[in-house]
Amino acid sequence: MDIFANMSNTPNDARQLKQLLHPLLVQDNGLEQHAALESPADFMSLLSKLREHSTAYSDWTSKVSPFTSKVQGNERSMYPCITALLCFIARVIQWLDRHKTPSGNQPLLRRLVLPSCTADTVLEDAQDAERIDIGVELKPRDAPVCDTVFKWKNVAKLTRTSAGKVWYSSLFGIIEAKTGSSAADKVGAASQVLRYIRNVHANQHDRRFPWGWTICGSIISAYVFGPHYVLQSHEFDIRTKTGLREFVHVIVNYSYTEDYRLGYDPTLKYLADIRCYKIKRR
């Protein structure tokens, strides 16, 4: 059964998602189609959620000016679209992992890459007008994906304790969105991510390097933030098939690769019950 067979009557941009994602997973990760599902109701529920996510993604790309790559609307209008794309990818690879045909050479789905359930949040360390747009977290492979495309929690302040618990101590990375794609927009977005990443370093002692992304209009760049360096990827346009393929490929690789490749130090383990780190000796 093709997971996407019943996803007809979707916008062109959303159809591009379904055409791209499944072949990519099958080719790169050895996931095979499953002949049948235990529960048809579960399958229809999955399709309904994928339609919801794909429609939100199409809403994003349809509002981008073909001449300037600028999104019509404000930054907040982009958040549901960005998080919907992450949720779409997570749902598909989770379903494929659960229903794949058994074989001996299939890689293990290690985790899901999901947006935090709150965003646009003022933190104690932030300047007056600054808020983290979207936090990205790593969840267990069987974790539920949020039923809603996106919801935000607009709070005035978080305490130091809650800010560390909700955000910096659990974040895999940070997304900063801008409606425009000018040079000033890109520099401003990168500068904001860099300021927030300092606190990821401060709260995650087992982290060698965190990740960040800037989304300016339809242009995406990925960043790796080391203790004394910053690496930036080339830019890719989410409206194009090539750009979308690159973004999907990156998220899928995050889901399958080893922890140390994501920037986590395997010699350190956080012991939550006593709130300290255990250092592995050679």
Look at residue 37 and tell me if it is in a domain. yes
Look at residue 137 and tell me if it is in a domain. yes
Look at residue 5 and tell me if it is in a domain. no
What DSSP element (H or E) covers 221?
Answer: strand 219-225
pLDDT tens-digit series, residues 123-152: 545 444 557 788 899 999 999 887 554 545
User: Quick one: pLDDT band at residue 120, thresholds 50, 70, 90?
Assistant: low
Domain that holds residue 231: 12-279
Look at residue 205 and tell me if it is in a domain. yes
pLDDT tens-digit series, residues 64-85: 887 777 888 888 888 888 988 9
pTM, full prediction? 0.79
Planar angle of CA 226, 115, 23, nearest 5 degrees: 95
Look at residue 1 and tell me if it is in a domain. no
Look at residue 6 and tell me if it is in a domain. no
How is the chain split among helix, strand and coil, in percent rounded to 5? Answer: 40, 20, 40
Look at residue 147 and tell me if it is in a domain. yes
Q: Can you point out the beta strands (E) in 74-144? A: 111-121, 132-140
Look at residue 4 and tell me if it is in a domain. no
